[in-house]
Amino acid sequence: MAPPAATPQTNTVLDELDITPHPRPFKNPSWKTPHRRTKTLKQILSDATRTAAAGEGGTAPAGPMQTTYANIESAPSLHPAHSKKWCDVTGLPAKYTDPKTKLRYADKEVYAAIRMLPPGSAERYLELRGANVVLKGVDVGVEFAGATNGGVVGTWGGVGNAVVGSGRGG
């Protein structure tokens, strides 16, 4: 089955599926791929804010209701019922918080289990709830995590999001 060493070995499965040699009559023959075409969403958004800021100083003022990808993001919950605490391990309602690991737990059996967790596990549980953020300033970090349930994903996404969001909400 093995071909002689001189000829390149071919992958029969991929040879069949490969679209590289397939003719593409639908393509413009004079099309040249632009130089750099990969930007992460974060880059795209920060570029957009920069141009928007530049544009506002210029001739085309953006309307007050201009919606952008960044500002249609939902604002933090204001509903008090949604700050309920759940057991990090079982998901049941949690009454207590372990002061050492900061994990929430439902009863003493779960507490015993939390104390027996192998190193690193507690962090993974916290990460699941986004509460493993360690900010540089210790005081700020604690307050931040406590007050907002420790969100990272949303808040860093768009610059000036909170300002725009609250303006729209009113």
Partner 1 sequence: MPSPSTSPRESTPLPPPKLYDIREAPTYTTSSETTWNDTYKNSSEIAIVIDNGSSQTRAGFSHDPLPRLTCPPMVSKYRDRKAQKTYTVVGNDVFADPNSRGQAKNPFDSNVVSNFDQMETLLDYCFINLGVGEEGGGGVGHPVVMTEAVCVPGYNRKMMSELLFECYNAPSVIFGIDSLFSYDYNNGKTGLVLSTGHTATHLIPVVDGKGLVNLSTRLNWGGSQSADYMLKLIQLKYPGFPAKIQSWQAEALMKDHCYVSSDYKEEVANYLKPEILLEKDRIIQFPFTETVKVEKSQEELDRIAERRKESGRKLQEQAAKARLEKLIKKEQELAFLKTLQARQETDSKRDFKRLLEQNDFRDEAALEKSVRELDKTIRRARKQDVGAEEDAANSAPPSFPLLDIPDEELSDDSKKMKRHQKLMKSNHEARLRAKAEKEAERQRQEDLEREDAAKREADLPAWLSTRHAARTAVLTKIKDRTRLRNELLDRKSLASQMRMKSIANLASDSPPSKKRRRGGGGAPGTSSGPGGGGGGAIDDDNFGANDDDWSVYRNITLGTNSDEDEEDNELAKELKAIEDQLLLHDPHFDRNDTHEAKSDWRASLLHAFTRGVREHDVDDQAQGCQIHLNVERIRVPEVFFQPGMAGLDQAGVVEIAGDILLQRVADERARESVLRDVFLTGGAVAFEGFDERVQREVRGIIPAGSELRVRRAGNVVLDAWRGAAKFAQGEGAGKGGGWVTKGMWEEAGREYILEHRLGNAF
Rounded to a whole number of angstroms, the minimum distance from the CB of residue 120 to partner 1 is: 10
Rounded to a whole number of angstroms, the minimum distance from the CB of residue 54 to partner 1 is: 13
Among 75, 96, 98, 141, binds partner 1 (CB under 8 A): 75
In this structure, the dihedral spanned by the alpha carbons of residues 163, 167, 168 and 170, taken in order and rounded to 10 degrees, is 140
What does the alpha-carbon distance between residue 17 and residue 9 come to, in Å, rounded to a whole number? 16
What does the alpha-carbon distance between residue 98 and residue 111 come to, in Å, rounded to a whole number? 7
> CB-wise, 9 or 59, nearer to partner 1?
9
What does the alpha-carbon distance between residue 135 and residue 126 come to, in Å, rounded to a whole number? 15
Segment contacting partner 1 by CB under 8 A, of 96-104, 106-114, 135-143: 106-114
Rounded to a whole number of angstroms, the minimum distance from the CB of residue 58 to partner 1 is: 15
Query: Binding string, 140-169, against partner 1, x = CB under 8 A?
Result: --------xxxxxxxx-x----------xx
Among 1, 6, 9, 58, binds partner 1 (CB under 8 A): 9
Rounded to a whole number of angstroms, the minimum distance from the CB of residue 87 to partner 1 is: 9
Among 47, 56, 163, 166, binds partner 1 (CB under 8 A): 47
> CB-wise, 36 or 136, nearer to partner 1?
36
Q: Which residues, in sequence order, are CB contacts of 69 under 8 Å at separation 6+? A: 45, 48, 158
Residue 93 in 3-state DSSP?
strand
Q: Which residues, in sequence order, are CB contacts of 165 under 8 Å at separation 6+? A: 71, 73, 75
